[in-house]
């Protein structure tokens, strides 16, 4: 993306943020004797984050190595969290590391177009390439 294209995108983003501010529900006034922060709507909280973290939100446009979303990272973590909840925990660090290593291998093979079952067969046949730095 060229510098001019990025500036146009940034201008459009800021215009949308400004329009969004006009659509937000009003923040309720603080009642007498009430302490703490005033509860804001989810929409207002999202708007504030989008405004505050504009650079991070638009980073994918200026840096081609940044993914548009972080869904992949969330998906990668989700299964280990499910495994941890179902089992109660990983019994030892060694087992947690083994689970992560196997999961990482299967995800890498899937990214290369391999079926998970075929990837396991390759690994069991000793034909897997170890790209994990060891």
Predicted confidence (pLDDT) per residue in 54-68, tens digit: 988 888 888 877 776
Q: pLDDT higher for 20 or 88?
A: 20
- Give 72's pLDDT tier (boundaries 50, 70, 90): low
Task: Based on the fold, state whether residues 10 and 46 are members of the same structural domain.
Answer: yes
Task: Based on the fold, state whether residues 55 and 90 are members of the same structural domain.
Answer: no
Note whether 99 and 76 are within 8 A (CB).
no
Task: Based on the fold, state whether residues 88 and 52 are members of the same structural domain.
Answer: no
Task: Based on the fold, state whether residues 14 and 58 are members of the same structural domain.
Answer: yes
Does residue 132 form part of some domain? no
pTM value? 0.51
Does residue 133 form part of some domain? no
What per-residue confidence (pLDDT) applies to 62? 84
Note whether 122 and 113 are within 8 A (CB).
no
The residue range of the domain holding 108 is: 71-124
As for how many domains the chain has, the answer is 2
Task: Based on the fold, state whether residues 52 and 101 are members of the same structural domain.
Answer: no
């Amino acid at each position: 993306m060229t510098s001019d294209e990025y500036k146009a995108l940034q201008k459009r983003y800021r215009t949308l943020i400004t329009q969004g501010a006009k659509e937000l529900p009003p923040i309720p006034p603080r009642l007498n004797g009430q302490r703490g922060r005033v509860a804001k709507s989810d929409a207002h909280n999202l708007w504030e984050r989008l405004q505050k973290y504009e650079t991070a939100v638009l980073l994918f446009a200026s840096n081609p190595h940044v993914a548009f979303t972080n869904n992949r990272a969330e998906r990668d973590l989700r299964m280990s969290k499910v495994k941890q909840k179902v089992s109660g925990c990983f019994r030892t660090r060694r087992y947690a590391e083994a689970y992560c290593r196997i999961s990482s291998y299967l995800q890498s093979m899937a990214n290369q177009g391999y079926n998970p079952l075929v990837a396991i067969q390759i690994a069991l046949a000793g034909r897997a390439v170890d790209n994990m730095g060891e």
